[in-house]
């Protein structure tokens, strides 16, 4: 179970979650379920160009339905999806506190990867995602405010006894005002498993409802996503002849 989190919004967390899910499924032939854990700002279904059936999320916690009846499969990628509701309420927050127990009770053992696309920030719903995750992937941009907030999430994860914490730097433009890789690594004190360059293809893919790794498989960002996924599956990434050129 991988919890994908960020200290602040707008860093591309859901873009990371969805593209990694597609690569793990399509490129590495793993069974993947992505659970949108960001009620009120549920965007996973938008990234996949699918309607949002947020009722599935609520039914998951009611435990009155079989898990397979709550899942929507993205045909082109094989990724299974449970979207979050587009609203936030006390009932939703109460359910989020039961996330770990629900995931344990529901038989998701048939999946190789369960990706939790968490909310930004440091509130109780974020703690619920951390608690339910085996690994924590923190998404940040190379800007001081983003790094500082990412550092807070890392501290919170460590306080909650999580040992497998990683960071991914997104939307890198290689500008002088950006913090460099080594400075970010020093500030975060966790392994950085990828650096995603700023690319308009990512924005285009969101609007078209097709993840970039599917829509632009030979782009630089797609190559980087495949390399990041290789770390998650513990496989050596082999460049294709086209990539080498």
Burial (0-12, 13-18, 19+ Cβ within 10 Å), 112: middle
200-238 tens-digit pLDDT:
999 999 999 999 999 999 999 999 999 999 999 988 776
* Token digits of residue 100: 């770990």
- The residues, ordered by sequence, that sit 6+ positions from 36 with a Cβ below 8 Å of its Cβ are 42, 43, 44, 45, 57, 81, 82, 83, 84, 117
The torsion angle over the Cα atoms of residues 98, 102, 104 and 106, rounded to 10 degrees, is 180
pTM of the model as a whole:
0.93
Q: Which of 38-42, 111-115, 124-128, 207-211 has the lowest mean pLDDT?
A: 38-42
* Token digits of residue 33: 């379920």
**Which tops the pLDDT comparison, 205 or 93?**
205
Q: Would you say residue 244 has pLDDT above 50? A: no
Q: What is the mean pLDDT of residues 114-133?
A: 94
Burial (0-12, 13-18, 19+ Cβ within 10 Å), 198: middle
State the angle between helix axes of 144-159 and 124-132 in degrees (0 to 180), rounded to the nearest 10: 60
* Token digits of residue 202: 């990512």
15-30 tens-digit pLDDT:
999 999 999 999 999 9
| Residue 197 backbone phi and psi in degrees, to 5 | -75, 150
Host H or E run for residue 140 = strand 135-140
């Amino acid at each position: 179970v991988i919890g994908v989190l960020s200290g602040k919004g707008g860093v591309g967390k859901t873009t990371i979650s969805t593209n990694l899910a597609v690569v793990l499924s399509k490129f590495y032939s793993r069974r993947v379920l992505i659970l949108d854990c960001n009620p009120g700002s549920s965007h996973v279904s938008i990234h996949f160009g699918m309607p949002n059936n947020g009722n599935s999320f609520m039914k998951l916690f009611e435990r009155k339905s079989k898990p397979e009846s709550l899942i929507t499969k993205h045909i082109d990628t094989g990724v299974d999806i449970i979207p979050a509701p587009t609203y936030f309420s006390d009932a939703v927050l109460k359910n989020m506190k039961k996330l770990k127990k629900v995931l344990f009770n529901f038989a998701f053992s048939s999946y190789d990867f369960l990706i939790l696309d968490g909310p930004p920030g440091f509130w109780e719903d974020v703690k619920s995602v951390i608690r339910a995750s085996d690994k924590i992937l923190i998404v940040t941009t190379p800007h001081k405010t983003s790094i500082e907030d990412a550092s807070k999430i890392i501290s919170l994860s460590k306080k909650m006894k999580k040992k497998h914490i990683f960071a991914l730097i997104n939307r890198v433009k290689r500008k002088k005002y950006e913090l460099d890789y080594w400075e970010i690594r020093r500030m975060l004190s966790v392994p950085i498993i990828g650096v995603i360059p700023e690319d308009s293809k990512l924005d285009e893919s969101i609007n078209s409802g097709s993840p970039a790794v599917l829509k632009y498989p030979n782009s630089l960002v797609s190559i980087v996503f495949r390399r990041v996924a290789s770390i998650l599956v513990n496989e050596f990434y082999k460049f294709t002849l086209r990539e080498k050129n």
